[in-house]
Amino acid sequence: MEERANRLLSPATALRVALVVFVLAWIFGPYALRSAVPILLVFLIALGLELNFLISALRSTPSPRPDRRPQDVDRERYGYDHETDDLVLVRRGDEEVWVAYSGESAEELEALLADVDDWPEEADEPAAVGLEQRRSSAPVRRFLVGLGVIGVLGLAIWFVESRTGWDSLAADTRTEAVKRFSDEASRIAEKPVTIYCDESGDFVGAVQHADGVAEVGGDHAYLTPEICLDLYRLAFENELTGSQTGRALAVVAHEAWHLRGVSDEGTTECYALQSGVEIGRRLGLSEGTARQLMRQQLTENALRGRGSFEYLVPPECRDGGRLDLDPGSTRFP
C-alpha cells in the first residue's frame, strides 16, 4: 500500500501538497505558528526543492526499458501467443528480436527472422521523436507548475496579510495606536518611553526569536506587528483574541520593565505578568479577564520554561513571594 502511495505521489507533488497544507495552516492556524515560522523561508525552501527536482530531472537520461522480456505488444506483432513456445532473443544487426523457438533448426530460425523483416516498418519514428521532446520538456513544465503553485500561495498570503495585518491599518491609526502603547509602557517604566512596531522585521520577529526587544534602562522598545495588532484590537476594537491578547499584554509589559532597568529575564517576566493585569484593564478588559489571561501566561511560562530556562520565572514569583509587586493582596497575578 505504501509503495503504491509513493508511486501516486511523486516527491514534487508531495512537496506541493505539503506547501499548500502548511500555508493554509499558517493563514488559518494558531498565531504561534505564524510568529514562529518565517513564511518567506518556507517559500525559499520550496523554491530550492523545485529547482533541485528540475536539475536532477534534466540530468537523468530517460532510463532504458528495464524489462528485457518480450512485451505483449511484441508477442502480438510477431504473432506468438502467451502460452506456447519458448522465446529466444536473437541479435539482428544492432537490434534484438524475440522469436518463438520450438526446437527449430538454425535454418528455420533464419526463415522466421526473414519473416520478421517483412513486417512493415511501423510509423513509430516520429512518435518516438515526439516522445523524446516531451521527455525533455516535462521537467521544465513541472518546474513551471511548481513556480505557479508557489506564486499563487505567495499572493494568497500577501492578500490575507494586506487585509488583516497590522500593515493594513491606516497610517494615522497606527500612529495613534503606537502612542497609546507608548503611554502604557511609560507608566510601567516610570519615565517617557516610545514603543515602535517593527514593520520591517529588522529588530524583532521570528528570526530574532523575540516578540519584543528593549535595551535595559533605555527609552524605546520594538514589538512585532503581530503583537501590535493584538494590542490594537483590544484597545481600539474591543476585540479579545484569547491567549494571543494575553501574550501581547505580557510582551509590552515585559519590554517596559526592561526599559525601567530590570535586566534579569525571569524577574522581568514575573513583573510583566503582574503589570499586564493593569495594562489589560486600562485597554478595556475586565479585571477578572485580565487576571485570568495573565495567570494563563504564567502557566504557559512554566511549560515554555522547560525549553528556554532563561525566561522561566523564578520560584519567588508567587503570591507573597519576593517578586510579588502587591504583597498586600492575595491575588496573583
Q: Write phi, then psi, for 202 (nearest 5 degrees).
A: -75, -30
- Name the residue nearer to Zn ion (CB basis): 50 or 255: 255
Q: How far is the CB of 257 from Zn ion (least distance, A)?
A: 8
**How are strands ordered across the β-sheet holding 194-197?**
194-197, 220-223, 212-214
Query: For residues 19 and 152, what is the distance between their CA atoms, to the nearest angstrom?
Result: 11
- Name the residue nearer to Zn ion (CB basis): 110 or 190: 190
Q: State the residue number with the nearest CB to Zn ion.
A: 265
Q: How far is the CB of 258 from Zn ion (least distance, A)?
A: 6
> CA dist 7 to 11, 14, 78, Å?
9, 11, 32
Q: How far is the CB of 327 from Zn ion (least distance, A)?
A: 24
Instruction: Copy the grid coordinates of residue 275.
Output: 503589570
Nearest Cα neighbor of 252 from 222, 208, 207, 293 is 222
**Which 3 state secondary structure label does DSSP give 209?**
coil
Q: How far is the CB of 307 from Zn ion (least distance, A)?
A: 15
Nearest Cα neighbor of 110 from 90, 87, 96, 86 is 90
Ranges within 103-122 binding Zn ion (CB under 5 A): none
- Name the residue nearer to Zn ion (CB basis): 31 or 311: 311
- Name the residue nearer to Zn ion (CB basis): 184 or 255: 255
- How many residues of this chain bind Zn ion (CB under 5 A)? 1
Q: Which residues contact 166 (CB under 8 A, 6 or more apart)?
A: 174, 197, 199, 225, 226, 228, 229, 232
Q: How far is the CB of 2 from Zn ion (least distance, A)?
A: 47
Q: How far is the CB of 188 from Zn ion (least distance, A)?
A: 13
Ranges within 244-303 binding Zn ion (CB under 5 A): 265
Q: Write phi, then psi, for 99 (nearest 5 degrees).
A: -130, 150
- Name the residue nearer to Zn ion (CB basis): 66 or 307: 307
- Name the residue nearer to Zn ion (CB basis): 133 or 263: 263
In the complex, which residues of this chain contact Zn ion (CB under 5 A)? 265
